[in-house]
Structures are given as structure tokens and as C-alpha cells.
Structure 1
Amino acid sequence: MSIKLSVLDQSPLLPGATARDALIQTTELAQWTDKLGYHRFWVSEHHSTKTLAGSAPEILITHLAANTKNIRVGTGGVLLPHYSAYKVAEVFRVLESLYPNRIDLGVGRAPGGMPGVNYALNKGKYPNVQEYPKQVMELMNYVRGEKHPTYQVSATPLGETAPPIWMLGSSTRSASLAAELGTSYTFAQFINGEGGINAMKDYYNHFKPSEQQKVPQGNVAIFVVCAKTEKEAEYLASTLDLQLLRIENGDFRHGYPDPEEAVDYPYTSFELERVRQNRQRMIVGNPQQVKEQLETLAQTYGVDEVIVNTIATSKEKRFESYQLIMDAFKTK
């Protein structure tokens, strides 16, 4: 099975690194994976966090597009309930004009941070998430250059091409909406290790053709840690094991733990079970193991593209993981 490999980067703050360091590493990773032949490079939107530096993906992808050559760049994704669909459309029409056929507009409705983020982004009010489907429809129309029926305005600059809209989610609800509106769909298995296969089936079974696309297009995003040996991959992945556990426990300390700290952590039996369950959100192993599991994942979901999110506290090991994965798929 032929699989396209793509990247999701959250600009993680690794030990001893500043936010600027994290954003520079995101840029270098985009250039590296572009060189390796990855298909897309998406960046996320997170607010008021001590572990992730990516708070404005629409700005970051402008920089990434300017510093890469072939790879598609996009948002994974813009948290639409916080913003004006019209303004988002204009931002991406500018991007599409600058980098035609290289921009992806991924959208979601999650808060993107602690509860207070909702209020801070919405002038002290809670966003009306019930309006989300209407917002997405407005966004699709604006991006295509159509005038709003009431306001009689178009999102400019107008152009011959338009960035495709991807609906990002971790539930069947988001899959159903993507199918209803006729957008592409990404299931975030790195967020939710369960229910993804049913969500994707729901998307494919109920997809309605739209002006954007006539057939469904789906992919799946997952944490992946690949190293030369399974033992080393497990050691590197212990960082994610502990970090995900900390998040679940409300422990939002600065940055990610080193593997040494993670290995020495005194896990309780309950915490070990949580680690085991969270491994459904990851693929960990040597290149051949990772290749086989990614192929199985794609086949099970019925997609031809997998988005890889590798977080390791060593920059060299992190970049090596992406190279080992691509090399494994290029090897006959």
C-alpha cells in the first residue's frame, strides 16, 4: 500500500529550550522533512501553555512556506469558534496568493488551552460552539471567493486557486460535520486513542460532495517515536508517557521531561495502566516495526496518508526519527 507521510508539529519546549528555540526548531524541522519528501507540514494552535510554543499557526505557516520549497504547509488547526470566518478566509486567501497550491486550512473547535482561554479570546464571553457548522460553511464560501448573501462582501485577494479546508477532530461528531459539509477530514488519534476507525467510517459513508471536493479525503494523525532499535525507541518514548500522564493529572509544569526523569519516575499501578492506555495514541519502535504499524493503521482507517507527530527531547533523535520513518518507506 502506498502511503503519503506528513508531519504535525506542536513546537514543543524541550529541556533547556526557550519558546524562540522551539519555533526555530519547527522551522528547521519543516526544512528537514521537506528535504526528506514528506507531503505536508501542519502546525497547531495552543494557548497559555508552558510546553508548546505554537499559538498562532497562521503566522507560523507564512514563515514556514517562505523557508521551504515543495512541502505543503497548513494549520492543524485554526480554532474557528474564536475568530471571524471572514478574517480567517482573508488570511488564507493572502497565503494562497503568495504560495498557490501549497496551503492547507485545517480548522477545529477545541478551546486550545485552559478554560480561561475561551474567555480571553472572546472578550470575556464563552464562544458559541453551536455556531461552528455555520461558521465553517461561511468560511468555505469566503475561501472560494463567494460574496456573503447579507453583508455583500468577498474575502480578498481573489485568485484562481483556494486552499482546501480540512476538518480536524477526535470524535464522530467532527467526522459527521466534515461529511455533511464536504470537507476533508483528519482524525487526531494522538489526542484520542479510541473511536477513530468508526469516525472515519462515518465520514466516508455519509460524505456529500461539495464545491471544494467531489470525493472524501481523510487522514489520521498519531504520535510516532522511531529509533534504530526498539529499546532506544522505548527509552525516547518514555518522555511522552510521563508528559501525557502529567497533563491528565493537571500538572502543567514547564517543558517536557528528559527520558532519564521519565524512566526513574515512581509510577503507581494506576499510572502504569494509564500509560498503557495512552500507548493507543502512539506508535513506538524500530523502522520496520513503525513502517508495519503505520501501514496497518492506514489500512484500518481506509486512508492513504498518515500524519506523524514525533516528540523527543533530543533534537537529533527527533529529526532522526523522521528520517528513519521515511527511509523505511523508501526501502523496497
Structure 2
Amino acid sequence: MNSQLKLSVLDLVPRLGESSFEEALQQAVILAQKVEAWDYGRYWAAEHHDLEHLSCASPEILLSHIGARTTRIRLGSGAVLLPHYSPLKVAENFRMLATLYPGRIDLGVGRAPGGSAHTSMALSGNFLANVADMPNRVQALKALLSDSYAYEDVPVTAKPVPRIPPELWMLGTNVKSAAMAAEFGTGYVFGQFMSDKNGAEVLRTYREVFQPSSLLDRPRSIMAVGVICAKTEEEAVRLTEKASMPGPGLPEGQTENDSYSRLLTGTPEQIRAKLLNMSVQAQCNEFLVFTPMDRYEERLESFRLLAGAMLDEINE
């Protein structure tokens, strides 16, 4: 396998310290601009609802704003929470983005609630029933993105129709989500930083049962990892001890301490070695990097240091 790694960014769009929601969204733009300059391949924004310290309820709106302020980095959702929405409306939103920003749009979908039980019910009613309908919604979304959807045998097209379609990815933390992505022939992102499963085994399952589709002819995978990178080991430990991990949305039975233990922490050289080893074990050469910090400046520095380490690897 090619050892050259690709780095991308997952942004939960947090409110850090005493920042306002407005400041948090401005920091999202700054992060996207910086990581584009540092040659990260993708910037993905997460979706959450009614959470005190997370600011992005509508990734598609934020991505449109960031698209106008960047030039080449791919922009995506990590993830649109499909049980809440009509597949047609999701397809229309991301085809609109793909028309505005050709060749730059990723549509990542997931099935998490993204907030509390009451918030989920206020958003879309019976969430459990909607989750049970997830395979039908993915099938409909896939059909809409390949212009083969019909409602009561009448063709329906998600417009506008972009010259370059958005890439469809499914996000998950276990074999079940990997198998669903494989069944529908989509790309798959495994959330290692949120999962106690063996990422190499989950991605192996995805590759082994993948079925080519109208959207994707071969399996494509990304691993989402938590990273705290600093100039020294001591600084990395200090930053980890005061890191801000996401609360709601952790898998059942998992605590924040479990998530901390899965963070990759260390110097640029140490993180580079860990990612290279994970890449070989999982046969995956792209990492979606989530960096939990309590200061925006420290978060940017971690991404900058990591980019420098990986550029050295690519240039060897």
C-alpha cells in the first residue's frame, strides 16, 4: 500500500472559552482557510442541535459561506443526520453546493440524533422510527444523486444538476454502518475517535462486502481520528489534560475518559509514526482529523504541526 497519507479536517465548530456563537463560526472559517493553505484535502463540518458548546446546526449553510472564502479545499458534512430529513431536500442542498463549488463537495451522512431526545423529537418526530427507515432513506438519496429516483412511479429530479456530483459518504462507528455503506456502494468514514471497535477490522468488512454502485465503482474509506499535536511530549500531555471532548453522541457505554484514551497525542514525529502504522494496519491512507482543544490558537497550531510532519513524509 502507498504510505503517503492524506489529511482532512473534521470540525465540530465548538464555542471555546467565552466565545459567542458568532465567534465560533468565524473561527470555523479561519480554520478552513488555514488548513487549505497547509494542503489538507477536506474540511468537514459536523451537525448538532441545541448543544451549549457546539455551533453548527446546518452544515450546508456553513459550507456555502466557507466555499466563498476558500478556493480549492473540498467541503463536506460530517455528517448530515439523515433520519431527520427528506432525502430529496438533502440531495437538493448538496447539489446546489456542488453547482456553486464544482468538484469540491462531499455529502457525508450519519444516523446519530445530534442532540437530546426532546430536541430530536422537536426536529423530526419519532427518531427511532426514522432511524429504522435509514436504509430506505439512503437508497432514496443514492437514487436522487444518480437521477434514477421516482415517487409513485413518477420521476423526480433533485435540481440543480451539477456538472460534477457531490461525493456520497456514510459515517459510522461499527460493523453495521460499514456493511450498510458497502451495500449501497458509498464511501465509508469510520469514527475511530468515537468507537471502541477495531478500525482495521471494520474497514476490512467494508472492503470485503462492498458492492459497486452508480456512484462508486470501488471501496473508498477514511478513518476519523482524534489528534493533539505539540512541539514537545510535555506540551502534548498538558493540552490533552485540558482538552474539550464532545459529550452527547458517544456510543452507548462509552465515557469521555474512553475517548481521551483513544486520542493520538505527541510530537509531530510521534503522531506521524502512529498514523503511518494505523494506515498500514487498516489499509486506509486518509485521516479525518478531529482536534479537541480549549483554545482556538492551540487548535490551529496542532493542525499546522501535523501538516508539517506529513509534508516531510510525502517529500521523502
Distance in 2 (CA, whole Å) between partners of 1:116 and 1:137 is 27
The alpha-carbon deviation at position 310 of structure 1 amounts to: 1.0
Distance in 1 (CA, whole Å) between partners of 2:305 and 2:256 is 28
The alpha-carbon deviation at position 311 of structure 1 amounts to: 2.0
Match of 2:196 in 1: 193
Aligned residue runs from structure 1 range 79-118, under 5 A:
79-118=81-120
Residue of 268, 272, 286 corresponding to 2:267: 286
Match of 1:59 in 2: 61
Matched, 1:159 2:162: yes
Distance in 1 (CA, whole Å) between partners of 2:198 and 2:273 is 21
What's the secondary structure of 1:234's corresponding residue? helix
> Against the structure 1 CA distance between its residues 161 and 243, is the aligned structure 2 distance closer, same or farther, given a 3 Å change threshold?
closer
Distance in 1 (CA, whole Å) between partners of 2:136 and 2:169 is 15
Aligned residue runs from structure 1 range 125-140, under 5 A:
126-140=128-142
Aligned residue runs from structure 1 range 139-218, under 5 A:
139-150=141-152, 151-218=154-221
Q: Are the counterparts in 1 of residues 192 and 225 from structure 2 also a CA contact under 8 Å?
A: yes
Distance in 2 (CA, whole Å) between partners of 1:274 and 1:139 is 33
Q: Are the counterparts in 1 of residues 113 and 127 from structure 2 also a CA contact under 8 Å?
A: no
- What are the ranges of 5 or more consecutive residues in structure 2 without an aligned counterpart? none
Matched, 1:316 2:280: no
The alpha-carbon deviation at position 296 of structure 1 amounts to: 1.2
Distance in 2 (CA, whole Å) between partners of 1:16 and 1:85 is 37
The alpha-carbon deviation at position 9 of structure 1 amounts to: 0.3
Q: Number of aligned pairs?
A: 307
Q: Are the counterparts in 2 of residues 179 and 206 from structure 1 also a CA contact under 8 Å?
A: yes
User: After alignment, is 119-128 or 66-75 more displaced?
Assistant: 119-128
- What are the ranges of 5 or more consecutive residues in structure 1 without an aligned counterpart? 250-272
Matched, 1:236 2:239: yes
Match of 2:309 in 1: 328
The residue type equivalent to 1:59 in the other structure is I
Distance in 1 (CA, whole Å) between partners of 2:198 and 2:209 is 17
Match of 1:270 in 2: none
Match of 1:263 in 2: none
RMSD: 2.0
The alpha-carbon deviation at position 46 of structure 1 amounts to: 0.7
The alpha-carbon deviation at position 227 of structure 1 amounts to: 0.6
The alpha-carbon deviation at position 146 of structure 1 amounts to: 2.7
> Against the structure 1 CA distance between its residues 134 and 124, is the aligned structure 2 distance closer, same or farther, given a 3 Å change threshold?
closer
The alpha-carbon deviation at position 159 of structure 1 amounts to: 3.0
Residue of 267, 276, 280 corresponding to 1:299: 280
Identity %: 38
The normalised TM-score by structure 2 is 0.92
What's the secondary structure of 2:108's corresponding residue? strand
